[in-house]
Amino acid sequence: MAQTPDEKTYVEIPFVEQLTRMGWDHIEGDIDVPYLTGRESFREVLLKDQLRKALKKINVDEKGNPWLDDDAAGRVVSRLERLNAPRLMEANKAAFDLIVNGVAVSGIGEGDRGNHISRER
């Protein structure tokens, strides 16, 4: 008897493999143990510590030096935690827009860096 197609086999596993080939780290979790993925509970969507580290790593100046401090990275994470959307699809779109377009943060340095956080292109 043929196996019924499922999302994990046809979507999740190939997507994780693709991201791994692109250099992303994959953290193998456990459906019963949230702390294995750096969370206190599965209600936490963001891996906050890892996100803060990644924000500081990708927000660098022209010489490759990080310019984002801990406080500003925390404000960005906080903004992603407080999405104002009544439904999941709208929340996903809002999060996507913030990640792609950047999050405005005041009080950091000068120029674009003082107003916007985004990945260097």
- Listed residue (63, 83, 77, 82) closest to 105, CA to CA: 77
Q: State pLDDT tens for residues 72-82.
A: 999 999 999 99
Do 16 and 26 form a contact (C-beta atoms < 8 A)? Answer: yes
Q: Residue 5 gets which letter from DSSP?
A: P
What is the mean pLDDT of the segment spanning 102-111? 68
User: What is the C-alpha radius of gyration for the chain, rounded to an integer number of angstroms?
Assistant: 17
Task: Decide: pTM greater than 0.75.
Answer: no
Please count the other Cβ atoms lying within 10 Å of the Cβ belonging to residue 10. Answer: 10
Chain segment 23-58, per-residue pLDDT in tens: 988 988 888 999 888 889 988 989 999 999 999 988
Distance in angstroms (rounded) separating the CA atoms of residues 65 and 72: 16
Instruction: Give the integer Cα–Cα distance in Å for 91 and 89.
Output: 5
